[in-house]
Structure 1
Amino acid sequence: MGFLRARHDEAPVLGCDSADLAEVEQIVVRSGTSFGKGMRILPPDRRYGMYAVYAFCRLVDDVADDELGDPADRSRRLEAWRARIARLYAGEAHDGIDRVLMATIRRFDLRQQDFNDVIDGMEMDASGPVVAPDEATFDLYCDRVASAVGRLSVRVFGDASPSADQVAYHLGRALQITNILRDVAEDARLGRLYLPRDLLERFGIPPEPEAVMRAPRLGQVGRILAGRAHDHFRAAAAAMARCDHTAMRPARLMGATYAAILAAQERQGWGTPERRVSLSRPRKLLIALRALAG
């Protein structure tokens, strides 16, 4: 693991015990995500700070997605997480994840409200499947599950300016809209439908997960939302230009990767939503090199 390569005379990463760091890193590893690899560009304190933020997001997301628990049970477990975050801000930690997360909160001055916003987003999924929300709810969902994570992340990256919050606002929405457009079929299998009701009704598509899968005019909804995502990518890039250049390296990398995914989805279209688009490893590497060089 990354922290084990540090010299013995160096200060501990985030001032944390290696076993606690390993516990947090294992959550990232077990998720199977490429997130961990992407964060290797960060110095150790920031890298493990991001692992801690990811671990929090992963664990609360697991609660929201737990199909075995009923909505009331999931809600209680998310409220327990809200109380757990409050205890961390009061200086009370009970396990390794708590200790690394508390060290991250203190080191990077993370805001409690941003953690609570993420939990609120998970609550929207946990209380029952989201099905064709109105436009205001759609935007609120994107803010809570994506932009709030961005507001935590930019501080760990190294920029707490208002412009960095603008990066989080726009890039979070761009990434989440891209995910929604890519995962229409997967979400439908779970009884979820994140596409805005207003757009579906405009094109005569019943606001039902299975109906959307068969809708011949789904592509028109997809193109409108893709246009919104592109607008957010451009606004995020403009905000990044006002931020610390080095701190924004991970944000540039995520933005470039997801913009390429969105472009691939647009080329494929929405005629076969069950075909989930992806990028090849060479393509991902080229995108990363360009983003980091920029």
Structure 2
Amino acid sequence: MCAPMSALEILPASSARSSNLAFALLCLPRGRRADAILFYRFCRTIDDIADRPSLGLEEKKATLAAWFLAIETGLPSPLEALVERHSIDRALLGEIIQGCASDIEPRRFDSATALERYCWQVACAVGLVSLKIFGCHDSCSEAYAVHLGHALQLTNILRDIGEDARQGRIYLPLEDLARFKVTEEEILSLQPGPGIFALLRYTASQARTRFAAAVPPEKDFERLLPARIMSAVYQRILDRMEREKFPVFQKRTGLMPHEKLACIMGAWLAGFKKTAPANHRSFGAPSGP
């Protein structure tokens, strides 16, 4: 039985304040920033339902089923207006919900292909919706969003290995564990053997390949500023994990606020250098409504 529609409430705006994405969204024009934060709150709400310890298994399933049904029957009014305003593909919202729903119970991925499908649901679909909110028009931006989504999620998987293991979750493909002679027990017990670090380096190289493939198209370069900031932030996190020899079983690697600010400035300057010779724009948010 599905949860009642009254249960379909999104997390408050305060839930978006401390995340990496919150920093990235600061550069958007006011209207688009508000819409992007609303969409982020939706994503956080869905993810929170799947992860919240206080909810039972059946309650989680029922609430997510209600959200999935609401995509067609009518979302809470602010989200419904957002979907209509930006012509968002409702199927993408369904993919996000299904991806998070698959996290309700501890799971395993037999192959890299299975993991790619999960990454597409929880990261690439988010990026494709974000393109609409950012006002992107170049069809090549979709390929950019997909590559970047995979890169960000692989970096997240690396960063959260210890945290996920404590919840009985392993996101690295089992075929990769076998290739590097790593057992599930090593990861779940937080006592990695010698093969684990070769596996982590291999996964990091896959993330870097995706980052390298995520080339923002010229036409949407400015509008993709939030995505370019996220790319810079997560590449720094990946750099730090590698430099510190992947302390992922002991801590969750992050950046200090001043480091995130440096990523914002670096991404903004990259756009400024592209546009300044042509129109001498002053400092500010990307152009466009």
Q: TM-score range by the shorter chain?
A: 0.7 to 0.9
Q: Match of 1:41, SS? A: coil
- Kindly indicate whether residue 207 of structure 2 is the aligned counterpart of residue 256 of structure 1: no
The whole-number CA distance in structure 2 between the counterparts of 1:177 and 1:120 is 19
Q: Normalising by structure 2, what TM-score?
A: 0.84
Q: 1:199 to 1:124 in 2, by over 3 A?
A: same
The whole-number CA distance in structure 2 between the counterparts of 1:152 and 1:50 is 9
Residue 153 (structure 2) aligned to one of 172, 176, 182: 176
C-alpha RMSD over aligned residues: 2.0
The number of residue pairs the alignment matches comes to: 260
How far 1:204 moved relative to its partner?
1.2
**Does the 8 A contact of 2:241 with 2:247 survive in 1?**
no
**Does the 8 A contact of 1:133 with 1:194 survive in 2?**
no
With 282-291 and 62-71 compared, the bigger mean Cα shift is at 62-71
Residue 63 (structure 2) aligned to one of 77, 81, 84: 77
Structure 1 runs (4+) greater than 6 angstroms displaced: none
- Kindly indicate whether residue 111 of structure 2 is the aligned counterpart of residue 131 of structure 1: no
How far 1:132 moved relative to its partner?
4.7
- Kindly indicate whether residue 86 of structure 2 is the aligned counterpart of residue 100 of structure 1: no
Question: Could you tell me which residue of structure 2 aligns to residue 145 of structure 1?
Answer: 122
Instruction: For 1:100-249, list aligned pairs within 5 A.
Output: 100-126=78-104, 128-208=105-185, 209-211=187-189, 213-237=191-215, 240-249=216-225
**Does the 8 A contact of 1:205 with 1:212 survive in 2?**
no
How far 1:46 moved relative to its partner?
0.8
Q: Normalising by structure 1, what TM-score?
A: 0.82
Structure 1 stretches lacking a partner, 5+ long? 1-21
Q: 1:116 to 1:213 in 2, by over 3 A?
A: farther
Q: 1:133 to 1:230 in 2, by over 3 A?
A: same
How far 1:272 moved relative to its partner?
5.8
How far 1:288 moved relative to its partner?
1.4
How far 1:217 moved relative to its partner?
1.5
The whole-number CA distance in structure 2 between the counterparts of 1:291 and 1:205 is 38
Q: Match of 2:250, SS? A: coil
The whole-number CA distance in structure 2 between the counterparts of 1:212 and 1:136 is 26
The whole-number CA distance in structure 2 between the counterparts of 1:287 and 1:61 is 26
Q: Match of 1:179, SS? A: helix
Q: Which has the higher helix share?
A: 1
Q: 1:150 to 1:213 in 2, by over 3 A?
A: farther
